[in-house]
Amino acid sequence: MIDIDKQYFKNWKFIDLFAGLGGFRIALESLGAKCVYSNEWDVSAQAVYYNNFGDIPDGDITKVNEKDIPEHDILCAGFPCQAFSISGKQRGFEDSRGTLFFDVARIVKEKKPKIVFMENVKNFATHDGGKTLEIVKKTMEELGYTFNQRVLNSVDYGVPQKRERIYMVCFRNDIIIKDFTFPKAIKLTKHVEDYLLHDTSLTEPLYVNRPDTYYNGLQDNTYSNKSIRLGIINKGGQGERIYSTKGIAITFSAYGGGIFAKTGGYLVNGRPRRLHPRECARLMGYPDSYKICKKSNQAYQQLGNSVVIDVLQYIGIEIGKALNG
């Protein structure tokens, strides 16, 4: 995460829906806002959230009465990507029924926050031929909001991981803003090697020594803002590729197989290994003070589903600038 000097959202309140590990919460709190409600259905993620923030998120959002949600200025949501059942040409609020976005929409309809800040996977932009994004846009416009969206890559915001996500920022129509734009890209100055742990007792079990390891002969001495593949294990499928730490990390995934599943393999001190959950957390913008799940498999999955805090912070700064003129 980045250091922020100005508290753009001082005295503002927000809610954290589909909260996961609380990436949105960390970003918004760094900008001065206060979380007044959180919701996350996954029990293991709830436990991690509690360990870090001191409160347990509500469970199944579909069973939450929107009238019971506290008043708030900003609604944050990283809702799942789901297809909508098109019921004609409307493609708005009614077409969102049966999806988890509908639960976001009904809370927005009831509480009318000033800003709705959402995140989803890159493919959300083209999902179902673009119909999914169109319904979300139409729904927000029906509810009285402007709709801004952009696919951003975390590597363009100082974090050496290829992680493309769509970000959606909606302002209530009566809120006076000045020229909101998504943040401009910045130069990448760090690479995977800058995020590695130095405690060998933690990383030694992660090394892989197999006879079916093959290298492509590329010298590992050049820095890049892209991933640099150095070799493979087995047939080189997903989760069997070895990359340089002088490049960027591949996209962390909550699922997937292979010996280097979820993180990819990296050549560290001349030997290949997967990344440690703490290293993954660092590459998602989480500070070392953040308490990740002690069960590695769950930690990898939770981080693979999470958001890059730095990107949220940069977007938050632009929201703050637009509000303050």
CATH number at residue 227: 3.90.120.10
The answer to the question of residue 297 being in a domain is: no
pLDDT of residue 96: 47
* Six token digits for residue 82: 């789901």
39 shares its domain with 141: yes
pLDDT of residue 97: 47
pLDDT of residue 92: 44
Rounded to an integer, what distance in angstroms lies between the CA atom of residue 121 and that of residue 77? 12
- Dihedral of CA atoms 7, 10, 13, 19 in degrees, nearest 10, equals 20
Specify the CATH number for the domain of residue 91. 3.40.50.150
pLDDT, tens digit, 9 for 90 and up, residues 82-108: 554 443 444 444 544 457 888 999 999
157 shares its domain with 42: yes
130 shares its domain with 252: no
Domain housing 269: 198-275
104 shares its domain with 250: no
How many domains is the chain built from?
Answer: 2
The answer to the question of residue 46 being in a domain is: yes
pLDDT of residue 311: 98
pLDDT, tens digit, 9 for 90 and up, residues 46-83: 999 999 999 999 998 999 999 999 999 999 998 875 55
181 shares its domain with 235: no
19 shares its domain with 168: yes
* Number of other residues whose CB lies within 10 A of the CB of residue 318: 18
Q: Is 81 a catalytic residue?
A: yes
Rounded to an integer, what distance in angstroms lies between the CA atom of residue 316 and that of residue 165? 15
What does the mean pLDDT of the chain come to?
91
132 shares its domain with 206: no
β-sheet bridge partners, residue 51: none
Type of residue at 86: I
β-pairing verdict for 271-274 and 265-268: antiparallel
317 shares its domain with 214: no
64 shares its domain with 183: yes
The answer to the question of residue 291 being in a domain is: no
The answer to the question of residue 67 being in a domain is: yes
Rounded to an integer, what distance in angstroms lies between the CA atom of residue 310 and that of residue 161? 12
Contacts for 293 with CB less than 8 Å, ≥ 6 apart? 44, 47, 48, 277, 299, 302
71 shares its domain with 107: yes
Sheet with 115-121, strands from edge to edge, namely 34-39, 13-17, 74-77, 115-121, 164-171, 148-153
Question: Of these residues, 35, 76, 81, 280, which one is catalytic?
Answer: 81
pLDDT lower than 50: segments of the chain: 84-93, 95-97
Sheet with 241-244, strands from edge to edge, namely 213-215, 229-233, 241-244, 265-268, 271-274
57 shares its domain with 144: yes
96 shares its domain with 217: no
The answer to the question of residue 302 being in a domain is: no
- Dihedral of CA atoms 65, 71, 74, 77 in degrees, nearest 10, equals -20
